[in-house]
Chains A and B, each alone.
Chain A
Amino acid sequence: MSVLARVFEEAGLTTVAFALVREHAERVQPPRALWVPFYFGYTMGKPDDPDFQHQVLAAALATLDAEAGPVLADYPEDAGPIGLPQASEVSASTNGDTVKPLDAADEITALRGYYERWQEQRGRTAVGVTGIPQRRFRGIIRFLEAYAERDDADMDERPADVSVPQFVRYCADDLKAFCYEARMAQRPNDTEADIHTWFWGETAVGSLIDSITQRLNSTGDAKLQATAYGLSR
């Protein structure tokens, strides 16, 4: 991010960058940056809060007043979560005691009503990286179940220029978005940490993704392990 700011400024454009890691901005030195003390994924501080987001933007635009740089200003107010549980932390805390649905495909079907409600309420969905309609997600589940067992599993819908491991990642991203959005419609007052804990600790889909991570990590193949790192950890 800060590197692009330097490239653009060198080309004659005026830039204002947001920095999530202050220490990185100190090293890269973008011309003008506002460090925001928010967790990764929360650059503007609070989702669904236009007023707060405008305050953050105004603080960033204030760096334009400087006559010389680099300028690295600090946003003064904290907001949002400061960290979230990963899959391994959730399974360690539940010790595998949680009862989960037996079949991830049935779980998807059971969540569909909530997912569709979310989509209706919000007018958008983050599902869509695979290009496979959500009503055919049972097929994705069957593919991932096979991939959790063996390398040669594949799916007809995979584009020719996308490798199987990369397509597995797209499938996992779509399933996560589907489940998270369904859960946010089902339990609107849950915190982000509640939703992560539910997904990794209580769902069959979370367990399925984690089982693929474990298989890929055990192969010793660096490329597959890189895929695993993007599924769960």
Chain B
Amino acid sequence: MPRLSVLSEVQRQMLQFFPCMEADGAPWSPLSKPLNQATAAIVTTAGLHLRDDKPFNRDHPGGESTYRVIPSDSDAANIVQSHFSIGFDRTAIYRDINITFPMDRVRELAERGVIGSVAPNHYSFMGALRDCTVVAEQTGPEVAQRLKAEGVDLVLLTPT
């Protein structure tokens, strides 16, 4: 995002006072193997899902805190977006899914030997949540366990 100073007053205020969870310091788990041997997955908060999967739905209690599985060998033509926010420019993802979900780029990183391999699955959440409690305490840890079970070492997290 361009620096807050270049935004309109309304946008600046909205972003400045967004109710983020706050922390001092961060957990730290360095890679246990060289990057070129690591298995990588993408976890996005762009509200993406397979075309025949259920769109994100606020009608369901906690529906905004759910996640979708996107197999890493999916065709980009089978992925659509049901993000709640209209505060981002969708022309970019209409043109190229890699703009927020760099599935082809990560595949190329494996082909070039920069990373070891691509995980079997990527995952997708809804972004811009004002309350992340369920994601932090339930669905996030659940996806962490799935990623570990699938042999993932490195997670790339992409917002939209």
**A77 touches B (CB below 8 Å):** no
Asked whether A102 is an interface residue with its Cβ less than 8 Å from the other chain, the reply is no
A17 interfacial by beta-carbon distance below 8 Å: yes
Q: Mark B8-48, 1 if CB is under 8 A from A, else 0.
A: 10010001101011111111111110010010000101000
Does the CB pair B26–A6 fall under 8 Å? yes
Report the tally of A-B residue pairs with Cβ distances under 8 A: 260
Instruction: Tell me how far the C-beta of B65 lies from the nearest C-beta in chain A, rounded to whole angstroms.
Output: 11
Distance in angstroms from B81 CB to nearest chain A CB is 6
Q: Are B136 and A7 in contact (CB under 8 A)?
A: yes
Residue A206 at the chain B interface, CB threshold 8 Å: no
CB of B117 closer than 8 Å to a CB of A = no
A90 CB within 8 Å of chain B? no
- Which of A56-64, A136-144, A148-156 forms contacts with chain B? A56-64
Q: Does A105 contact B (CB under 8 A)?
A: no
Question: Does B109 lie within 8 Å of A57, measured CB to CB?
Answer: yes
Does the CB pair A14–B31 fall under 8 Å?
A: yes
Per the CB 8 Å criterion, the residue count for chain A at the interface is 87
User: In whole angstroms, what is the CA distance A229 to B18 when docked?
Assistant: 17
Q: Which residues of A are found within 8 Å of B96, using beta-carbon distances?
A: 47-48
B57 near A161: Cβ-Cβ < 8 Å: yes
Select one of A6, A129, A192 contacting B55, CB under 8 A: A129
Q: Are B80 and A37 in contact (CB under 8 A)?
A: no
A125 CB contacts on chain B under 8 angstroms: 77
Given known pairs A24-B20, A41-B100, A161-B57, the reply for A16 and B105 (CB within 8 Å) is no
Query: Contact at A1–B45, with CB atoms within 8 Å?
Result: yes
A201 contacts the other chain (CB 8 A): no
Give A residues with C-beta under 8 Å from B. Answer: 1-24, 27-31, 36-48, 50, 53-54, 57, 60-61, 64, 67-70, 78, 80-84, 122-129, 161-163, 166, 170, 173, 176-177, 180-181, 184, 192, 195-196, 226, 229-233
Q: Could you list 17 further interchain pairs (A-B, Cβ under 8 angstroms) beyond the known A41-B160, A128-B51, A192-B89?
A: A4-B125, A7-B135, A27-B20, A41-B88, A42-B92, A44-B98, A44-B102, A47-B99, A53-B105, A57-B109, A61-B114, A64-B31, A70-B25, A124-B75, A128-B80, A166-B58, A180-B94
